[in-house]
Chains A and B, each alone.
Chain A
Amino acid sequence: MEPLAPFRVLAPASIAEAVAAAAAHQGARFLAGGTDLLVNLRHGIGAPGVLIDLRSIPELRRLGPDRGIGAAVTLAEIAAAPPMLAAYPALIAAAASVAGPAHRAAGTLGGNLCLDTRCIFYNRGEWWRSATAFCLKHRGETCHVAPTGHRCHAAFSGDLAPALLAYDAEMRIAGPDGLRTEPLSALYAEDGAAHLRLGPGEFLAGVILPPDPWPAAYAKARTRGAIDFPLAGVAVALRTEAGSVAGLRVALTGTNARPFLLAGTEALLGTPVDAAWRDRLGRLVQKQVSPMRTTLAAAHYRRRVAAALAGRVAAQLAEAA
């Protein structure tokens, strides 16, 4: 792989210092575990002269207080199922399913939520991409996945986002205008080349879990069971009353440029989870996911496996209720 283009690393001690550092260094990138960013930089995707290391901010490394998780908390810390997360098993399962132990020791909550989108034409060395005149996402004119279109179809492949969306979590964004709290879904846009709605100098400071979460679970399909990004990942939060579905949130990853909450789930309320219900859920998923030829696995497989996983996870939750 290519050597890293030189950069300096700043280690702010507070959120305010990080915001000031970003304002002072145009084009600087925020760094946490580096498991995504450093690989892309070695591929020649971007060459920021300054990286701002968010792990040096003690506040961002904290689990708690209350139900807050700092952006620089590692995936290993979440996967270790600390008592604070006992009511959020889908989040723990999602963190445990990311890559291998060494990645989870470095990778963070914020890094996984802000993961760059992925595509077989994008996650390549510079020499490889130069042979295809690069691509729409970086330096090129054409999306090789959909050459007649004008949009990048690279897929979001983070595992934590669907779990947190299913829990209806909020996020804290830090930036020049201070801290603001918004639903996590407001972070994402359906554009593989610009999927994060973060303004200049803004970064994700953490998430806030809701109180009294519904029972939820996460499952993903991947090429290598031991370590891999999701071809499709599904988190389901499901509340039942007297055997019928009383609340349902389904969130997906790996199929679109952003992780998203399935729309129209209210039509699935009021009935028990049976085969017919699973079919209806599956059809809803198949309608809303839009996997493209961004992985070596076929797009139609990812569409069908997303639907199957949604039904399976929902059925497991209904059975356990």
Chain B
Amino acid sequence: MQMQPDAPPAAPRRFRLNGRDRSVTVPDHALLIDTLRETLRLTGTKQGCDGGECGACTVLIDSVPRLACLTRTGECEGRVVETIEGLARQGRMNRVQRAFHEQLGTQCGYCTPGMVMAAEALLRRVPHPTEPEIRAALAGNLCRCTGYVKIIAAVQAAAGEG
């Protein structure tokens, strides 16, 4: 990110990220998407429209899906942030990731991290969602390859496993 000469000073922001306490020193106007991708090099969270329209940058903050492109890093102070990198355990995909893989719920893959995080949040809140509940939970996640059918099947498969 380009810094202006009159840029406000950076300050440490502490939050829990993917199970680890982290502290990053960034200014107030730093956005979570840039802190994750540029500062922390966690590039699993995708930068799509970068304007709150596509859902590709969906992460979880306190288990609630949020758009990293519209969230300031400063807002995360003291909270629990989870990205796609935090789901696998010891190299094993979690149930949602595995279901997307097995049900072919991914094509080009660009929307997948956001889709998986939105689905993960839904399944934590509603372990056995109906199809309308799945569609509502993924309403903000745009996919331009699939017809969403296999994405929904993947979430249903993950729910069946849970």
Contact = CB atoms under 8 A, between A and B. Distances in A.
A101 interface: yes
B65 A101 contact: yes
Interface residues of A, number: 26
Contacts of A51: 28
Given A3-B2, A102-B58, A102-B65, A9 B72 contact: yes
Contacts of B70: 33-35, 38-39, 103, 106
A1 interface: yes
Interface string B119-141: 00000000000000001110111
B72 A103 contact: no
B29 A100 contact: no
A225 B74 CA distance: 33
Interface in B29-70: 29, 31, 49-52, 55, 58, 64-67, 70
Contacts of B51: 1, 39, 42-43
A226 interface: yes
A50 to B, nearest CB: 9
A4 B139 contact: no
B118 interface: yes
A226 B135 contact: yes
A78 to B, nearest CB: 15
Q: Which 10 A-B pairs have the closest CB atoms?
A: A100-B140, A226-B139, A1-B50, A6-B7, A9-B28, A8-B8, A102-B65, A100-B139, A4-B29, A102-B67
Nearest to A40: B51
A5 B65 contact: no
25 contacts: A1-B49, A3-B1, A3-B2, A5-B29, A6-B4, A6-B6, A6-B7, A6-B8, A6-B27, A6-B29, A8-B8, A33-B70, A34-B70, A38-B52, A38-B70, A38-B72, A39-B51, A43-B51, A51-B28, A100-B139, A101-B136, A101-B137, A102-B65, A103-B52, A106-B66
Q: Which has the most chain B C-beta neighbours within 10 Å: A1, A3, A100, A226?
A: A100
B71 interface: yes
Contacts of A7: 8, 28-29
A100 B55 contact: yes
Nearest to A99: B140
Contacts of A8: 8, 28-29
B60 to A, nearest CB: 10
Nearest to A4: B29
B38 to A, nearest CB: 11
Nearest to B67: A102
Nearest to A51: B28
B66 to A, nearest CB: 5
A33 B4 CA distance: 25
